Amino acid sequence: MKQILSALYLFTSTIFLANCQSTRQETNALPQAIQLFNGKNMEGWIPKIRFHEVNDNFGNTFRVEDGLLKVRYDQYDSFDKTYGHLAYHKPFGYYLLRVEYRFVGDQANGGEGWAWRNSGAMLHGQDPQTMLKDQDFPISIEGQFLGGDGSAERTTSNLCTPGTNVAIDGKLFTPHCKSSTSKTYHGDQWVTADFLVLGDSVIKHILDGEVVLEYNQPQYGGGNVSSYDTNVKKDGQLISSGYIYLQSESHPLDFRKVELYDLEKYKADTTKLNAIVTQLLKSNSKD
């Protein structure tokens, strides 16, 4: 009898320990990165270039070479405000986006002065299928990328708002752009930019593990976008999800990583969400 009881105790203890270990593993498990750019081709991406229809990759602006997603203008006679955007085909609402980019070469002929070493990742963007032929920018929240000139200070991971507004410190922010607190990244060095997007509540721009810009309540409103469908822009309405775009604004650049951690299933548990994000940023900083 004692042998039977001992065996039963050992069996139940093993099951209990296994269940505890499984629970700890589930609690500590981090979401896996979704590779939006697969390193081989532009599968899953939709080009929309101004003055051209959706899916017309005019001038082979966006291309994949040597494992990099490149933005190039060697088939342009003149850039002439032919702004381009590359949209991922699926919208997201709660996520951590990680982009590794670098500026290279010379600006395209006909590019505007402000667009020198200027690009960005557009967040909460409109469906690319709703962009009109002559529309310059998608209605979205832009995480702006800027490169330095070798001497002057120039922040990156700034905010720009084509057709949108945000709230900062509890007040509606209506100017088009706001600078971050980042350092300047000069030359052709690779820069890793993280964007934490939590629906219509908060968006944080993060560099080297530090928050360099934070704002709330992304919403439709304001100007700085032209030739758009007015049915898409419902001023005052909060934006809880949307499409991610990469920009083409006349300066060549490369992307070697575009990945996303989907945080949708954690949005009802703020404590767990914060813990997951902290771990992701910590693990990313070690890469």
Number of domains in the chain: 1
Is there a domain that residue 89 lies in? yes
Q: Which amino acid belongs to residue 66?
A: D
3-state secondary structure of 80: coil
Between 134 and 26, the more confident residue is 134
Does residue 240 lie within any of the structural domains?
yes
Reported confidence tier of residue 11, pLDDT bands at 50, 70, 90: very low
Specify if 5 maps to a domain: no
Digit-coded pLDDT (tens) for 131-181: 999 999 999 999 999 999 999 999 999 999 999 999 999 999 999 999 999
Structural domain contains residue 16 = no
Residue-wise pLDDT for 179-219, tens only, equals 999 999 999 999 999 999 999 999 999 999 999 999 999 99
Nearest to 60, CA basis, from 49, 51, 68: 49
Collapsed DSSP state (helix, strand, coil) of residue 238: strand
Q: What is the pTM of this model?
A: 0.90
252 falls within a domain: yes
Q: What percent of the chain has pLDDT over 90?
A: 88
Check: CB of residue 87 under 8 Å from CB of residue 125: yes
Tell whether 25 is covered by a domain: no
Residue 213 within a domain: yes
Here the tokens at position 76 are 């342009």
Closest C-alpha among 84, 73, 164 to residue 123: 164
Structural domain span for residue 155: 34-285
Contact assessment for residue 15 and residue 268, using Cβ atoms and an 8 Å cutoff:
no
- Any domain includes 7: no
Decide if pLDDT at 21 tops 60: no
Domain harbouring 132, CATH code: 2.60.120.560
Report pLDDT for 2: 52
